[in-house]
Structure 1
Amino acid sequence: MDWRTFAEQMATLARDLLAQDTVTTTLERITASATRLVPGCDAAGILILHGKGVQTLAPTDQLVIDSDQLQERLREGPCFDAARRQNEERVFRIWDFRDDQPRWPAYVPQARELGIGSMMGFLLFTEGEDLGALDLYSRSPRAFTEAGETAGWLLASHAAVAFSSARTHAQLEQAVSTRHVIGEAMGILMGSHHLTEEQAFDVLRRYSQDHNVKLREVARRICERGGLD
């Protein structure tokens, strides 16, 4: 592996990731880069845990989705474990799916039938924040070398920072948008019912609680209809 070329590609990727404007485009750039930068990688995706379920983000191949769904159904697998951060490990791997794997006895034989030959999973994390796992797959057994693992780990480190930054930016944009919608809805209520700002917000809050509808959704309905039903 040409580490000089790899370092130049990683530097370019780091700049590109910071330039992405949405979480989706950031993740798609990460997984596409994995198949290009990590030797032996045929497919990549990001697995996120939601309660007892999993979500596959930015998969480059159907193989990734099938593997994640299999791990979710069986409640075991290297990427599933990485996302759960079991045993404080940050890298999980199966070098050869032809070998028995006592750690994942149900997952490995069924994943082999999907056409997976080897795989690695890297925990995506920043300080105090676990984000999921970056999953790298190969259709060939023993496709990943130690150099490939190092490359994957470096990519995952860059990916975690970019993912966290993009998600924070998206959350801030949503918060600003929500505040704007709620303010507009309060203005409609204040004008149509001669309410104070505090009274208008109280109407929104009580309607949200009584009807089990999020405050933003209540405000959106008021803005669209000119008032509450």
Structure 2
Amino acid sequence: MEQRYSIDEFINQTKQEDKGQGYFELETPRMLEVNLQGQVWAKAGAMVSYRGQIKFEREGVLEHGIGKLFKKALSGEGTSLMKANGNGKLYLADQGKKISILKLQGESIYVNGNDLLAFDPSLEWDIKMMRKVAGMLSGGLFNVRIEGTGLVAITSHYEPLTLLVNPGQPVYTDPNATVAWSGNLQPEFVTDVSLKTFLGRGSGESVQMKFEGEGFVVVQPFEEVYFSQQS
């Protein structure tokens, strides 16, 4: 009997395999396996499946102090995180977006709040709001600064592209297509009336992020539209 397209063949091709990569493991390009022995922070709602003894809890209101709570309230759609505790295998995904794992070694990185999937609890993090651009883009934008030593999983629609920023050679990006950038860069927002006219789209598309200095910025071939979420 021909095995092509059989259930057995499907199971064999798609079954979970231990790749021995450690704490974070890319089970597929769009599915993150966390080999949990303790705790991990993850985007709320990103859990697809788990096995073992794992408990989930939403980010505590005062867990990170009044400062972060205040910023979260101001942002209107703060970073909704959940904490997973226990021992087992946890599978995370976000709308089929491609996942990239980054190992920070005393470095820092900014990640668009919508593109942060999971990170090691040993890392320091803080919510940063883009106040200047909040009224220009649908839903506004916020990002998370992560610093220290540990693993971070970020997501992007399709394959990400990393652009190097060099002194005297600024890089401009569409905020809705910007995923992450190096922690030493402080983007400024600029408007381009001629671009707005040329594109013939809403006012938001004329806003650009300008990166100057030395570092990198990660973009995706997709413009994400952000909606306000009540956390």
TM-score by length of 1: 0.24
Q: Which has the higher strand share?
A: 2
Q: Which has the higher helix share?
A: 1
Kindly name which structure, 1 or 2, has the bigger radius of gyration based on alpha carbons: 1
